[in-house]
């Protein structure tokens, strides 16, 4: 049964759209029509921004404890509907259901709870000499989010912005939008005042650009491609909006000579193939010592072949489809480019997989060996299950290679000791580095260097992105 969404959530109610066109949402598992959502137009952007602007003053004036209470109710609503939303995201974008439940829903649920707790003692005011420094909400925020971790990226923006006292207009990706409609229902049930949270959908060049360029919008927070991020920066510059960008990555997993190769290489392969490689922080370059290439390649091939492509609702599946047909074509094209450039194809490839529905958007877990660091597949973000093994001469060479792309979002270093790994990690020009497989931390800042973007999400750093500083200067007391 096709799911039909034909209204936007604006000013606390579901209302008809100004446009008359719809966008088809297809199942990545078999290409079937899954849903239809509204294709928003500029008039919808105007209505949503007007609602957010109208609600801003009152919302900004609410006590932090009151905002925390709303965030806690949203967390509880997500938790109550976690299985339903996890299945929805699996159907929308293809992550295996068990992983969707833990990552795609569990993480954003925790994010709302984190910001609810943080408001208990966040320093919105502090005394600095004879000045009182205030942290105040930046204003009306437009959040534009991607399809790969759709609800997680929504939560990272929406929870932090609401905690800061901002009002929001959310435009989720049209590829995986249904989870955003579920969140709007939860926000409504939590009693969040009208206009504080608004939801519209549509294409980036249409309603997205109308929102970014809107004179009544104070800030744009965007997660997506570097190409789109550059366009947003250009549009936002006309009104000198604040812009926070979380863009692409080409992260390196560096295995140092003293590391446990079996553990390290299996972990880097798993990191690369999680979510079918559709992760901005994916370690898609495996850097190993030249003299141990054969050993590393053998371990990587064995690890890659353990991944089982298939129906993401099947518990046996460990590699789901890509989110869209366009993404499948893009990834297959990169694989062919790698082969044409003479990179050694060790396993996988661009050919269709026999064990999955032919109309599904699947790509085999693919591994290239002896890849030149300047090759296209080693420089550009592929966003699919494609890993390149690159050799290095010494640690200086490894650092040079790791830093030798336009990106700087994440990475990993493996060694026999954390101290040795840390000494290399400190030299990487990247926003996050996993030391010997250190897990993701919601309290740590998330964001990148160079063309991976600017600004940070999550933890107190993500809250600060949505705040302005105001200094009140008082006359110092007379000297005794």
Torsion 204-205-209-211 (CA) sign: negative
Q: What is the DSSP letter of 319?
A: B
Return the pLDDT at 173.
Answer: 98
How far apart CA 300 and CA 282 sit, in angstroms, is 15
Please check whether residue 255 is in contact with residue 288, taking contact to mean a CB–CB distance below 8 angstroms: yes
Q: pLDDT value at position 477?
A: 85
> Which has the closest alpha carbon to 76: 112, 115, 120, 119?
112
DSSP tag of 437: T
Q: Concatenate the DSSP letters of all residues of 194-205 into one string.
A: TTSEEE----II
CB atoms within 10 A of CB 314: 13
Name the pTM for this structure. Answer: 0.97
Closest to 96 (Cα-Cα) out of 241, 247, 274: 274
Please give the domain boundaries of the chain with CATH numbers for all domains: 3-247+453-470 (3.40.605.10), 251-445 (3.40.309.10)
> What pLDDT, on the 0 to 100 scale, is given for residue 299?
98
Alpha carbon distance 200, 8 (integer Å): 5
Tokens representing 391 are: 């050799």
Measured between alpha carbons, how far is 455 from 466 in angstroms, rounded to an integer? 10
User: Are the beta carbons of 102 and 47 closer than 8 angstroms?
Assistant: no
**Adjacent-strand bridge partners of 408:** 449
User: pLDDT tens across 396-413, in order?
Assistant: 999 999 999 999 999 999
- What CA–CA distance (Å, rounded) separates 309 from 297? 21
Nearest Cα residue to 337 out of 308, 293, 373, 378: 378
Q: What is the CA radius of gyration of the chain?
A: 23
What does the alpha-carbon distance between residue 212 and residue 116 come to, in Å, rounded to a whole number? 28
Place of tokens 């005394």: 127
How far does Cα 15 stand from its chain's mean position? 29
Which residue's entry shows tokens 């141990």? 292
Q: What is the mean pLDDT of each run of 10 residues along the chain (480 residues)?
A: 95 96 97 97 98 98 98 98 98 97 98 98 97 98 98 98 98 98 98 98 96 98 96 97 97 98 98 98 98 98 97 97 98 98 97 94 98 98 98 98 98 98 98 97 98 97 98 91
Catalytic site positions = 246, 280
Cα separation, 415 vs 398, whole angstroms: 13
């Amino acid at each position: 049964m096709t799911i039909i969404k034909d209204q936007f959530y604006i000013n606390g109610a579901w209302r008809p759209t100004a446009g008359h066109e719809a966008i088809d949402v297809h199942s990545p598992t078999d290409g079937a029509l899954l849903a239809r959502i509204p294709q928003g137009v500029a008039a919808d952007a105007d209505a949503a921004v007007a609602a957010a602007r109208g609600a801003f003053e009152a919302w900004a004036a609410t006590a932090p404890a009151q905002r925390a209470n709303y965030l806690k109710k949203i967390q509880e609503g997500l938790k109550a509907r976690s299985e339903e939303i996890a299945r929805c995201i699996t159907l929308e974008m293809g992550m295996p259901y068990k992983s969707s439940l833990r990552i795609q829903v569990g993480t954003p649920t925790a994010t709302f709870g984190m910001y609810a707790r943080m408001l208990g003692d966040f320093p919105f005011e502090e005394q600095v000499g004879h000045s009182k420094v205030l942290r105040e909400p930046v204003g009306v925020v437009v959040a534009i989010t991607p399809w790969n971790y759709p609800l997680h990226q929504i939560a990272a923006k929406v929870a932090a912005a609401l905690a800061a006292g901002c009002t929001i207009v959310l435009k989720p990706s049209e590829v995986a939008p249904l989870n955003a409609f579920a969140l709007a229902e939860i926000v409504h049930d939590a009693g969040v005042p009208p206009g504080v949270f608004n939801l519209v959908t549509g294409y980036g060049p249409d309603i997205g650009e109308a929102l970014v360029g809107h004179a009544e919008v104070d800030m744009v927070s965007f997660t997506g491609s570097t190409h789109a991020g550059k366009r947003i920066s250009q549009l936002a510059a006309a009104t000198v909006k604040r812009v926070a960008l979380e863009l692409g990555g080409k992260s390196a997993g560096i295995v140092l000579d003293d590391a446990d190769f079996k553990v390290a290489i299996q972990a880097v392969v798993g990191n690369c193939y999680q979510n079918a490689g559709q992760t901005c922080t994916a370690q898609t370059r495996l850097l190993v010592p030249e003299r141990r290439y054969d050993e590393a390649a053998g371990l990587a091939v064995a690890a890659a072949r353990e991944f089982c492509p298939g129906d993401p609702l099947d518990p046996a599946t460990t590699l789901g489809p890509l989110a869209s047909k366009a993404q499948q074509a893009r990834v297959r094209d990169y694989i062919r480019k790698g082969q044409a450039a003479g990179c050694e194809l060790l396993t996988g490839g661009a050919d269709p997989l026999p064990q999955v529905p032919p109309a599904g958007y699947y790509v085999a877990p693919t591994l290239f060996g002896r890849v030149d660091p300047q090759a296209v597949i080693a420089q550009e973000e592929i966003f699919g299950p494609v890993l390149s093994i690159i050799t290095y001469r010494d640690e200086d060479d490894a650092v040079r290679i790791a830093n030798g792309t336009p990106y700087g979002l994440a990475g990993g270093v493996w060694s026999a000791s954390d101290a040795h790994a840390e000494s290399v990690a400190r030299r990487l020009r990247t926003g996050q580095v996993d030391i010997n497989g250190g897990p993701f931390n919601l309290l740590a800042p998330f964001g990148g260097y160079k063309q991976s973007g600017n600004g940070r999400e999550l933890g107190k750093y993500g809250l600060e992105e949505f705040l302005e500083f105001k200094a009140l200067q008082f006359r110092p007391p007379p000297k005794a």
